[in-house]
Amino acid sequence: MGDVPTFRTGLGTSDADSITLLGRSLADDMLGEVTFGELAFWLVAKRPPTENERVMFEAVLVALADHGFTPTAIAARLTYLSAPDSIQGAVAAGILGGGSRFLGVTEDSAAFLAGSLAGRDALPTDEAGWDALAAEVITVTRAAGKFVPGLGHPVHKVTDPRTPKFMALARDHDAFGPHLSLFAAIGRAHPAILGRTLPLNGAGVCGAVLADLGFSPAIVRGFALLARCAGVLGHIAEEQVDPIANDIYMTVDRNIEYAPPT
Amino acid sequence: MGDVPTFRTGLGTSDADSITLLGRSLADDMLGEVTFGELAFWLVAKRPPTENERVMFEAVLVALADHGFTPTAIAARLTYLSAPDSIQGAVAAGILGGGSRFLGVTEDSAAFLAGSLAGRDALPTDEAGWDALAAEVITVTRAAGKFVPGLGHPVHKVTDPRTPKFMALARDHDAFGPHLSLFAAIGRAHPAILGRTLPLNGAGVCGAVLADLGFSPAIVRGFALLARCAGVLGHIAEEQVDPIANDIYMTVDRNIEYAPPT
Amino acid sequence: MGDVPTFRTGLGTSDADSITLLGRSLADDMLGEVTFGELAFWLVAKRPPTENERVMFEAVLVALADHGFTPTAIAARLTYLSAPDSIQGAVAAGILGGGSRFLGVTEDSAAFLAGSLAGRDALPTDEAGWDALAAEVITVTRAAGKFVPGLGHPVHKVTDPRTPKFMALARDHDAFGPHLSLFAAIGRAHPAILGRTLPLNGAGVCGAVLADLGFSPAIVRGFALLARCAGVLGHIAEEQVDPIANDIYMTVDRNIEYAPPT
Amino acid sequence: MGDVPTFRTGLGTSDADSITLLGRSLADDMLGEVTFGELAFWLVAKRPPTENERVMFEAVLVALADHGFTPTAIAARLTYLSAPDSIQGAVAAGILGGGSRFLGVTEDSAAFLAGSLAGRDALPTDEAGWDALAAEVITVTRAAGKFVPGLGHPVHKVTDPRTPKFMALARDHDAFGPHLSLFAAIGRAHPAILGRTLPLNGAGVCGAVLADLGFSPAIVRGFALLARCAGVLGHIAEEQVDPIANDIYMTVDRNIEYAPPT
């Protein structure tokens, strides 16, 4: 037998008579007292959100939960069709599509905004200052041959309806921090530099909100995955009573063009 | 080119100017208005919860979110250690352990209670009636060589602190339905039949609450997975700043007993 | 610090100078000496296959590797579309569909045949004896309202071309054991009992072959998953150079019938 | 109803009487004729390997299949412990750890070597020429503050036994191409530049072999995942008969240091 180290955690623990979560009594202090979104914030931040922060955070989760028949929702439904006895496999399949392309903008925006603000001695104090900073980071990004994350949307070509709503919510909830300020300024400053007007998209504004809530960009994708988990569950529940996955499979199967190697 | 069927959904859709979720405007009616837990209920039930239902439902998600260093939390951390660039893989690994053994009691309890109530002409109207019904189902289950789900706990051998709390919450929120009534009766009736007193566990009471909220047992495991998703996220966030997965790996690696086949 | 147990394995281990796999030197005894299929057999059975066993085992893996655009292949491609940076997520999504419905027949057949043979004092010694046993198990299964696994196929309604090939291979490789004998007899005996003639399908014959190779039904699904892993890899590689996942997504997205809850 | 595009594939298809794989009859041309490793090569390369290529390719899969109690093997076992009814979930959890850190060297080496050779008018024709090229790429890599993939190993500090074996196998099988030539030259040239002597590791030599077999670095990680799938299966089969996952769980659970947030 060898020695074993200790394994630190600040999340949950229990003994014969009690269950402790984040240092509180689960039964006495948590159940019926905190929302699930509040707990999710707390589990990651290791502190409870203020009421204003809770509203902003839950709005982000609500905004990211479901986007209709995304590839991840379809993958979850097809996996449920194949293995209906293992709902966890269908949920996991839906989660696994949460990578760089379809769920990455939120994380990319948070990282871009946080990176643009990092290391500055002082932040702008008025709109003109934010616009100048936005112009600078757009110009640098464009010169590097890259896109500004959160700018543009394949469907919402003029306005993404989530963006003005989040801006208003943030103002109303004392949550309009530097990341949202820079993001909003990008919305104002980019047409003069890029020569066309693009919308600030909803995934990007969610990244800005999460960064203003104090979260590291490294965990931001995780919140998008949590939100999507609820959406995937909706798709699986719908598939249980009104299935379409087999129709998708059959649509592909009946339209195969077989082109074997020679 | 062939024909293609239509693919029905009642969850989300969008066009150039609007995003619709569950038939409502996401921006105008949902963001800042509903909690994430409320939305999760709505996505599955296809109707919003009442405020009382919301409280009960969120309490279930909070109760199931984290149970410390479970095998699933450890699996998620080890996967994050191996593939830190793919947080969705670590979350999925944590979800995949949500099967019959460590997360199954909630589902099993919901199915057991629902099955015990199904097909009865009338339900009991007083405690004595519920106790008689409980005695009947316990006796039948025992005769079949099976266990009553939700009865007993490896750690909380006398009382699981979640159970009385949920009972109280349900009474306070007009949510004490037939599944909880039968579950509570099982707690009263089993000692006389089984010859020993076991606690009603927290995973089981969550199953009873979800069944009383109207959910099919077939989707109940999904809510446990959603709850656990938040817990897994907490573990990953903790692993990012205070890692222990490599210590677990090294503990195993340094204590291997190699016993090759001959 | 506490004590730690030892963790037994007979698979692989290594030290500064050597790598040992299954008790052999990986470099000296394995590389260039054994096929990958041979190793997969060995890792599970804890003994190397004979040459005849190797041929049968690899034929099973080859038979199960790819079945075109199955739901699992489509799920893997859609996941790759969403998260191309994480190929392991796409492979995992393809694996996760390997459950009871689309990949379960191989396991179900192995379990059915093994269960039908278990506990008998003596096995039949001629074809008439096997036919009688087959008639018995078919009759019992039918009376229980169940289907005989491995009987019938949605596409190959008369003959599944894999089945006679495996029968011939097994005869040529001294691998026609009791499970295949019973399976073949089921093919002969069922029309008189069921009143119609169904083909023995290829997934079922693979289950019979694996059972005759000595594998427990509990691990049989695992081999189907390993085989499918190669097929999924083919789909991902094809998606990299000739993608169709976005067309599937767009086909669904353009044909949504939105039916929101009221 | 709308139009639907066709979905191209060159892998598998079937009709009522036949199953076609890669343009061949599965039953007549594949079963009993090709090894599983051969098929895996073929599915990705869209051509069968030569016999020499097959030997090299299967050796790579054998080399990468199992490395003992890696984090991915432990994650697979813990997932099997939690959800033993869903073997596909345990395999998927094992696959999901196949990311950048513990399984990435093979891919990184293939990409590094391919990138180092790309765009050159002519490749070296003798050992001195390869050494000069190796010195150049090592110097450039070091100047960029990066490591040369495939150089160094945490356990095999002097020699990784797989590397000389693969070099010998490649010479014997007419498979010593430019990627292996550069990799071998890196082994000779780096001490003079880096000031210390590191081993060429086995994961790196596998990347070089796969690149010399003509595979794109973009698919290389996929082969490592396929190989690891067999190893994970061995761990799950071992867990079924001689379990250790619960001991790992208990080892962690008994040594928790609870440090809740304040």
pLDDT, position D3: 73
Over the stretch D92-135, which tens digit does the pLDDT of each residue have?
999 999 887 777 899 999 999 999 999 998 999 999 999 999 99
**For A71, which of C6, C82, C100 is closest by C-beta distance?**
C82
Window 50-89 of B: residues touching D by CB (8 A cutoff) are 68-72, 74-75, 78-79, 81-86, 89
Chain A residues with CB-CB distance to B231 below 8 A: 11-12, 43
- Looking at residue D222, its pLDDT comes to 97
Q: What angle do CA D84, D87, D91 make, to 5 degrees?
A: 125
Q: How far is CA B208 from the centre of its chain?
A: 10
b/e map B61-95, b = 16+ CB within 10 Å: bbbbbbbbbbbbbbbbbbbbbbbbebbbbbbbbbb
DSSP lists the bridge partners of residue C13 as C20
Per-residue exposure over D6-28, b if at least 16 CB sit within 10 Å of its own CB, e if not:
bbebbbbbbeeeebbbbbbebbe
Q: Tokens 């009859």 label which residue?
A: D25
Q: How far apart are CA D125 and CA C106, in angstroms?
A: 53
pLDDT digits (tens, 9 = 90+) for A35-82: 999 999 999 999 999 999 999 999 999 999 998 999 999 999 999 999
pLDDT of residue A1: 46
* Nearest residue, CB atoms, D9 vs list C12, C236, C238: C238
pLDDT for C136 beyond 80 = yes
For chain A, give the secondary structure using H, E and C: CEEECCEEECCEEECCCCEEECCEEHHHHHCCCCCHHHHHHHHHHCCCCCHHHHHHHHHHHHHHCCCCCCHHHHHHHHHHHHCCCCHHHHHHHHHHCCCCCCCHHHHHHHHHHHHHHCCCCCCCCCHHHHHHHHHHHHHHHHHCCCCCCCECCCCCCCCCCHHHHHHHHHHHCCCCCHHHHHHHHHHHHHHHHHCCCCCECHHHHHHHHHHHCCCCHHHHHHHHHHHHHHHHHHHHHHHHHCCCHHHHHHHHHCCEEECCCC
Token readout for A51 is: 């009421």
CA B167/CA C76 separation, integer angstroms: 44
Q: What is the pLDDT of residues A140-163, one digit of tens each?
A: 999 999 999 999 998 888 999 999
d(CA C5, CA D251): 8
- What's the CATH class of domain B105-213? mainly alpha
Asked if residue B109 lies in contact with residue B204, where contact means CB atoms within 8 angstroms, the answer is yes
Is the distance from CB of D41 to CB of C183 less than 8 angstroms?
A: no
**Domain boundaries C50-254, corresponding CATH code:** 1.10.230.10
Show Cβ contacts of residue A58 under 8 Å, excluding neighbours closer than 6 positions: A35, A37, A38, B34, B35, B36
Angle at D87 between CA D84 and CA D92, to 5 degrees: 125
Mean pLDDT, chain D, as a whole number? 95
Q: What is the mean pLDDT of residues A164-190?
A: 98
Q: Which of D22, D259, D261 sits opposite A260 (nearest CB)?
A: D22
Judge whether residue C1 has pLDDT over 70. Answer: no
Res C2 pLDDT > 70: no
- In the three-class reduction of DSSP (H, G, I as helix; E, B as strand; rest coil), residue B167 is classed as helix
The shortest CB-CB distance from D72 to any of B1, B82, B256 is to: B82
CB-based contact, A147 to chain C, within 8 Å: no
Q: Can you tell me whether residue C207 is helix, strand or coil?
A: helix
* C256 at B interface, C-beta within 8 A: yes
Q: Which residues of B180-216 are buried (b: 16+ CB within 10 A; e: fewer)?
A: bbbbbbbbebbeebbeeebbbbbbbbbbbbbbbbebb
Residue A104 and residue A207: Cα distance in Å, rounded?
10
CB contact under 8 Å between A18 and B161, yes or no, is yes
List the CATH code of the domain at D50-256: 1.10.230.10
Could you list the pLDDT tens digit for every one of the 262 residues in chain B? 457 889 999 999 998 889 999 999 999 999 999 999 999 999 999 999 999 999 999 999 999 999 899 999 999 999 999 999 999 999 999 999 988 777 789 999 999 999 999 999 899 999 999 999 999 999 999 999 999 999 999 889 899 999 999 999 999 999 999 999 999 999 999 999 999 999 999 999 999 999 999 999 999 999 999 999 999 999 999 999 999 999 999 999 999 999 999 8
Residue whose C-alpha is closest to residue B62's, from A27, D57, C101? A27
**Chain D residue whose CA is closest to A44:** D261
Does residue D4 belong to the interface with chain B, where contact is any CB pair within 8 Å? yes
Angle between helices C202-212 and C51-64 in degrees, nearest 10 = 150
Q: Which residues of B touch C47 (CB under 8 A)?
A: 261
pLDDT computed for residue A262 by the predictor: 82
| pLDDT tens digits along D54-73 | 999 999 999 999 989 999 99
Q: CB neighbours (10 Å) of residue C48?
A: 16
**Identity of residue A131:** D
| Mean local confidence (pLDDT), D216-220 | 97
* D221-236 tens-digit pLDDT: 999 999 999 999 999 9
Q: What is the pLDDT of residues A194-228, one digit of tens each?
A: 999 999 999 999 999 999 999 999 999 999 999 99
Q: Where are the domains of chain D?
A: 50-256
Least CB–CB distance from B261: residue in C22, C252, C262: C22
Inter-chain contact C96–A89, Cβ cutoff 8 Å? yes
**Are B257 and C6 in contact (CB < 8 Å)?**
yes
Give me the numbers of helices (H) and strands (E) for chain C, helices first please: 11, 6
What was the pLDDT predicted at A52? 98
Query: How, if at all, do strands D24-25 and B12-14 pair?
Result: unpaired
Contact with chain D for residue B36, Cβ under 8 A: no
Residue A154 has what pLDDT?
Answer: 85
Question: Chain A contacts of C100, Cβ < 8 Å?
Answer: 83-86
Note the pTM of the prediction, 2 decimals: 0.96
Homologous superfamily (CATH) for A50-245: Cytochrome P450-Terp, domain 2 (1.10.230.10)
pLDDT, tens digit, for every residue of C17-74? 899 999 999 999 999 999 999 999 999 999 999 999 999 999 999 999 998 999 999 9
Confidence band of A193 (pLDDT split at 50, 70, 90): very high
Q: Which residue has the higher pLDDT, A171 or B154?
A: A171
Label residues C167-186 b or e (16+ Cβ within 10 Å = b). bebbeebebbbbbbbbbbbb
Contact A57, A173 (CB under 8 A): no
Residue among B55, B161, B255 whose CB faces A32 most closely: B55
Distance from CA of D257 to the nearest CA of A (A): 5
Answer whether B30 touches A (CB < 8 Å): yes
- D99 vs C86: CB contact, 8 Å cut-off? yes
Specify the pLDDT at position D1.
46
Whether the CB of A48 is below 8 Å from some CB of chain C: the reply is: no
Higher-pLDDT residue of A104 and C246 is: C246
User: Taking CB atoms and an 8 Å cut-off, how many pairs form between chains B and D?
Assistant: 150
Touching A: which chains, 3+ CB pairs < 8 A? B, C, D
Contact D261 A22 (CB under 8 A): yes
- Cβ of A259 within 8 Å of Cβ of D83? The answer is no
